[in-house]
Each structure stands twice: as structure tokens, then as C-alpha cells.
Structure 1
């Protein structure tokens, strides 16, 4: 007897987004890339190995399409482990399907029946013939996609969709990459992307968001609507990094972006878990607070020196609490929503 996925596959026609310039949420230099990564091949020899490896993860990438099919199957293969101790397979390796209703101007969501095997499959069934919707399929947050196909009923139409606009670029850490959302659509950068017409480019690298020159150079080549630098969680004050060195690192990043983009808004942020109410781990909170105080002071100094359109998100703006995280710093879905809301508030003013 045929399995459900095999039976569904026999009634579907499949479309490969690669080569169609259909992958959104990444730098323009990657429009014609034949993979699902976030860094161009030429970066491999200039970034550190962990950054390159994490850059092959598809965090923040999404595919938009239109179809009249009331059933959609997504099948794909991933390269790494399906899950992590603190993050489920649906977030690490799963996909997530939303659609924008052009009539109501609102977002809908479809749950899928999934199988995590050698080939991962998601079946979205009985979702209606939504001819006035644009579907948005989010890709895995913490895994590398080797290949992916989208299947729709053989007698129904299908078309990839792409909007061209200035992106919101986020350079960040594991939190911005998506740890520890239960599914891709609730990573904070993806939540934020549904609030604006601009696509959000996720350049976040777990444990390795350090305001490094090769990534800053890539970002500087992009004509963005906003630059968000959310790297403080990976820039603790240590024996090898003083407060003065962190100040210099932040200053250099801002001055580099300003050299090519004198009027583009730049947003800097404190550690989202600094000063969280109710956390009993005193030394951890002190560590987060040290680096957060530095970025706050640096922003004030830069603004006083005449740097324009420089914005700041404080830890208190995120308003995280004891129900907002999975562990010492990584937000759960509640925390992700709170972070997205903080950025939405400031970006609404800017954009």
C-alpha cells in the first residue's frame, strides 16, 4: 500500500525555486545562486569557518507564490541534525506556510502534516482554493537545505512571485537566526517581515554575530531601507574584549555604513535578556548588562558627535519576562513576538 506522501506526490506537479530568482530574504548578490544559503561563494575564504557553515543555513529565507490548488506539498532534504536539545525539529528543520489575503489585507496560516525522514515532507491539505492569496513559505531556521520542491495539484495553476524593494538587513546572533522558535514563521525577523512591505534579510549567525569586517562589507554593498545591528549577545565584555574595544567595534561598524549610506537609518540594540525581570542568575545578568551599557553609551556619544538617523532599542523595550525564554537568553515564541514588537515600534517610526 502506498504511503500518504507517495500517493499525494503522484497527483502533484512540482516546482523548483532555484534558478527562478524566487528565494527572498537574502542579499541581492545571491539572487541567482543555485543554493539555499545566505552568503555568496566568494565569502567562503574570507569569513571564519563557523560563520560560513551557519551561512549555509536557510534562516529567514522564504518563497512566495500564487496557486489555485487546495493542497500543497513541500518536499526537501536537509544536511544537518533535525533538532537541538532546546529547539524542536519543526523550528530547526521545518518549513512554515503563511498566505497574504489581498482582500482583507491580513495574514493567514496553514498547519502541515509533516514527516521528518530522509526526505522531509509537509502536506498542507484542505486549505481552500485561495486565488486571491499570495503564499509565503518560510525555510528552516537552523539547517542547510540541499534541495526543495513545491508541489500543487496537477490541474491547478502555480506562479512564483517576487517583490523588489529596499530590504531591512539584520546582522545578529543566534536569537536573530531564530533560536528557539517552534517554527520558522515565529522567528522574530520573520514576524517583522510580515509587518512591512520590505523583505527582511537575516544575516544572523549563532554564537558568531560579532560585527566582523567581511559581513559588514557585504552589508555595506546593499542599498537597504534600514540596517539593524543586533550583535551584543555575542560581544560580552571578557578578558580579551574590554569596554573600550567594544566601543571601537560598534563605532567602526556605524562609520563604515555611514561612509556609503549617509542617510540610511541604523538601529543598534542592547542584549534582549539584559535586565529581564525575575531572572535569579545574577552573574549572567551582570554579563549581559555590561555589554548593553557599552552600546547604549556608544550610541549616545555617536549621536552627540553628529551621526544622524541612529536609533536604539533597549533591553527594556523588548520587555522580556520569565515566560519569554527557553534558557538563559534564547527566546521562546512569546519572547520572539516581544522582540518583533519592539522592532516594529521603532521601524514604524523610521519607515
Structure 2
């Protein structure tokens, strides 16, 4: 849909558009049963745990694509949660991020002038006018947008773009949700989407990415290009009982997904931390390493059983170091790039 309005005045008014009303939100499940800017459909509210539902109202990975010839882009919106966290700034928890791509797939970034008040505002630009450029506006990672409008000068045009390709779906933890990127575009899922130029759906739930059946059901029913299961950081434990639980959850998830999508590549991921001799906290190292070993054993069992198109992203391939996290679990921006790069290298091996 194209919006055009021309007013010959010294200072033109702003034309404000609500992306929710236009039905142009990207990066979430294709389900008409989704309320507001949520990531999960209303139909699962009664079957997922309360924390999962609450986190599903956060907007991690949700974005809007559009073309415009405007030199400045304004956004105003409100959120329902706290603006920041002790280890993550307002710009990551509650902020926006604006990127743009050209016809050759090259990406650009537009810094924003922001004000965090009851109504949050971002002003992007001025930028060089280009009606062929496709902008991508990322929504907050750890907050819930309750209302939003995108504004351009009333003599400019804005045309929203919708993607039709099958997505990469990520089921994970706080790390997948985006903790602790300084801004939304630097969450590893969003980095990966731009690197591979493919839609990505982020089903990361802070502290609650536990390979639970209601979420696996949603993924199984969504035709996908790749499915990533990155839940080990929320399944940590060193007891034999926990090792058995990890194996049971992984086996159930993979077999259900394989039955629904026989040819879709599935990636099982190690805990991104651990195996680091330069970390002095032996307790965390041991915990993360034993969790990874339990996941690896389950992966090998599935491979021996003949499960096809099953891949493994190793801790060593991610290679987080002592400069990569804020707390030896949640990556900073540098760690986010490392994670995205590792996934990109792996996925490009089988999506050629």
C-alpha cells in the first residue's frame, strides 16, 4: 500500500501510519490469531507457561520493511515494561534500529536521535533520498510495544514490503531473544537475517527456552527453511537425571519436527559458553560444559538412528572469549557477531 500526500507549505506536516493496522509486521509467525505486536498466537496462551506467554509479548525479531523517498523518518511508540535492565541498556531493551538495503543486497545503518519518555520517539536522518532503498525497522528486544506510528513528511511516499519466503525459525533462550545487545539490529538473530538475506522468526524466551511441546507444535506447523534449537543454556544441570531430561526433550523435539517437515534442516546448538580456560569461575565452566556434552550425546544418538538433515553447531565454532559476554552467559555486541557468524558459516554449507 502506498501513501502519498502533497501540501505546499513552508513546513510540511507529518503523515503518520500505524504498521499494525496495515498488517505489515514481519519476523513472526504467519497467524491471524496474534494480538498486537506479540510473537505468539492467542491460541497458545492457555497451553504455555505464564512466563513464556509474557515473554512472547516482547517484540524480539519483529520488524517492518518499507520503501520511502523521505529524507527523515520519525517513529513514536509506547511500551508496557521497564525501559532497561541492569546489564542491558534502554536502546537494546526498548529501542528501535533502522537498517536499509540496496538492490545488490548491501546493508546500511541509520543512527537515530531518541528520547525515552512515556512516549518514546526516534528520529532518523536526514538521509539521501532514494525510493529504491528498502528500510528495515527493528522493534525492541525485551519490551512490549503497545502502540506505534511511523511518520514521514506529507510530500513523501512510503510503501510497505512483505516477505513471502519460508523463514529460519530460532527456538532459544535469553541469548536468542537478544540479551544483551546494545540495540536490536545487533541481536544475533537479526544479524543472521541480514547476512543470509532471509526472513528469521525469533522464538527466544529469556530463562524459558526449554524445548516445550507447545512451542515445538508451532514450529512444526510453520513451513521453515531452517530450524534452530538453541535451548541448552536453559537446560543446565550436572545430575544424571538432567542429562536424561535433556536427551528426552531433544529426541522428542527432533522427531516431531522431522515428522512434520521431513526435509527441513535442523540445527542443534551447544551451550555458547564453557570450555574456556581463561574463565576463572570453575563452577560455571563445569555446568556449561556438562550441559553441552549431554546435548552432544543426544545429537549423536539421533545421527546413529539415521535422522537426516540434522546439523550441530559446536561451542568451538562460536568461540566466545573473555571479551564476548557481560556475565559469561549473555553476549555483548562482540559476542553476538561471533554467534551470528558461526551460524552463517554452518548454514551456508547446506543452503547453497
Question: Which TM-score applies when normalising by structure 2?
Answer: 0.94
Asked whether 1:307 is paired with 2:298, we answer no
Q: 1:201-240 alignment to 2 at 5 Å?
A: 201-237=201-237
The answer (yes or no) to whether the contact 2:12–2:155 under 8 Å persists in 1 is no
SS at match of 1:137: strand
- 1:6 counterpart residue number: none
In structure 1, the residue matched to 2:64 is: 63
Pair 1:262-2:262 in alignment: yes
The gaps in structure 1 that reach 5 residues or longer are 1-8
Match of residue 105 from structure 2: 105
* CA deviation map 1:142-178 (0-9, x unaligned): 0000011100011001111011001000000000000
Name the structure 2 match of 1:138: 138
Deviation for aligned residue 1:132: 2.0
The residue number in structure 1 matching 2:349 is 349
Equivalence for 1:78:
79
Distance in 2 of aligned mates of 1:276 and 1:224: 34
Map of 2:124 onto structure 1: 124
| 1:245 shift after superposition | 1.9
What is the TM-score when the length of structure 1 is the normalising length?
0.95
Aligned equivalents of 2:12, 2:236: Cα separation in 1? 53
Partner of 2:297: 297
Over 3 Å counting, the alpha-carbon distance change for 1:222 and 1:154 in structure 2 is: same
Provide the residue aligned with 1:28 in structure 2. Answer: 30
Determine the structure 2 residue equivalent to 1:333: 333
Q: Is contact 1:92–1:143 with CA below 8 Å preserved after alignment?
A: yes
Rounded to whole Å, the distance in 2 between the matches of 1:75 and 1:303 is 49
CA contact (8 A) 2:238 2:291 kept: no
1:99–1:277 distance in 2 versus 1, CA, 3 Å: farther
Q: Give deviations 1:306-325, integer Å, cap 9, x for gaps.
A: 00000000111101100100
Report deviation, 1:11.
Answer: 2.6
Query: Are 2:161 and 1:155 equivalent residues in the alignment?
Result: no
Residue 96 of structure 1: how far off its partner (Å): 0.1
Once residues 139 and 277 of structure 2 are traced to their aligned partners in structure 1, the CA distance between those partners, rounded to angstroms, is: 33
1:173 aligns with 2:173: yes
Question: Which residue in 1 is equivalent to 2:55?
Answer: 54
Q: Distance in 2 between matches of 1:61 and 1:277?
A: 37
Aligned-partner Cα distance in 2 for 1:241–1:319: 28
CA 1:139/1:240 → structure 2, altered by over 3 Å: closer, same or farther? Answer: farther
Q: Which residue of 1 aligns with 2:244?
A: 244
Q: Is the 8 A contact 2:174 2:204 kept in 1?
A: yes
The change in CA–CA distance for 1:153 and 1:277 in structure 2 (over 3 A counts) is farther
Deviations 1:206-243 (A, max 9, x none): 00000001111111110101110000000012569421
Distance 1:333 1:170 in 2: 19
- Say what the alpha-carbon RMSD is for the aligned residues: 1.4
Task: Give 3-state SS (helix, strand or coil) of 2:347's partner.
Answer: helix
Gaps of 5+ in 2: 1-10
**Structure 1 residues 277 and 240, CA gap change in structure 2 (3 angstroms):** closer
Give the CA deviation at 1:52. Answer: 0.3
1:44-73 per-residue CA deviation (whole Å, 9 max, x = no partner) reads 111000000000000000000000000000
How many equivalent residue pairs? 341
2:199 is matched with which residue? Answer: 199
| Native 8 Å contact 1:243 1:291 kept in 2 | yes
Find the aligned partners of 1:101 and 1:43 in 2 and give their Cα distance.
38
CA contact (8 A) 2:171 2:229 kept: yes
